[in-house]
């Protein structure tokens, strides 16, 4: 599909409806060869989408409550953390 557009004085380009259908955000990349690419983007990268699920966000809110109530424990090292886990696992 080839289409010519004019860049207005503010630097804006209006994309034709068929090109922009279903796209809300784009990443603009200028390649070393001078080609400008518009890449459709989600506000949340797909590999990070799990964090924003309702289930995960509910768990995050639970953690916030526990932290605010002071029901957390800190460790100075990974080894100290693992030792505490081991101690809890023993009857």
| Per-residue pLDDT tens over the stretch 55-77 | 999 999 999 999 999 999 999 99
| Per-residue pLDDT tens over the stretch 30-48 | 999 999 999 988 777 778 8
Q: Give yes or no for a contact between 36 and 49, defined as CB atoms under 8 angstroms apart.
A: no
Give the number of domains in the chain.
1
Q: What is the pLDDT of residue 22?
A: 86
Examine residue 56 and state whether it is found in any structural domain, yes or no.
Answer: yes
Residue 78 has pLDDT above 70, yes or no: yes
Examine residue 7 and state whether it is found in any structural domain, yes or no.
Answer: no
Examine residue 32 and state whether it is found in any structural domain, yes or no.
Answer: no
Q: What is the pLDDT of residue 83?
A: 95
Range of the domain at 79: 46-89
Q: Give yes or no for a contact between 40 and 29, defined as CB atoms under 8 angstroms apart.
A: no
Q: What is the pLDDT of residue 1?
A: 64
């Amino acid at each position: 599909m080839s289409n010519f557009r004019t860049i207005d004085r503010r630097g804006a380009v209006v994309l034709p409806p068929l090109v922009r259908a279903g796209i809300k955000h784009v990443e603009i990349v200028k390649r070393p060869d001078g080609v400008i690419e518009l890449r459709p983007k989600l506000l949340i990268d797909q590999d990070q989408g799990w964090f924003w699920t309702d289930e995960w966000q509910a768990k995050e809110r639970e953690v916030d409550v526990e932290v605010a109530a002071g029901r957390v424990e800190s460790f100075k090292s990974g080894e100290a953390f693992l030792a505490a886990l081991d101690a809890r696992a023993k009857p």
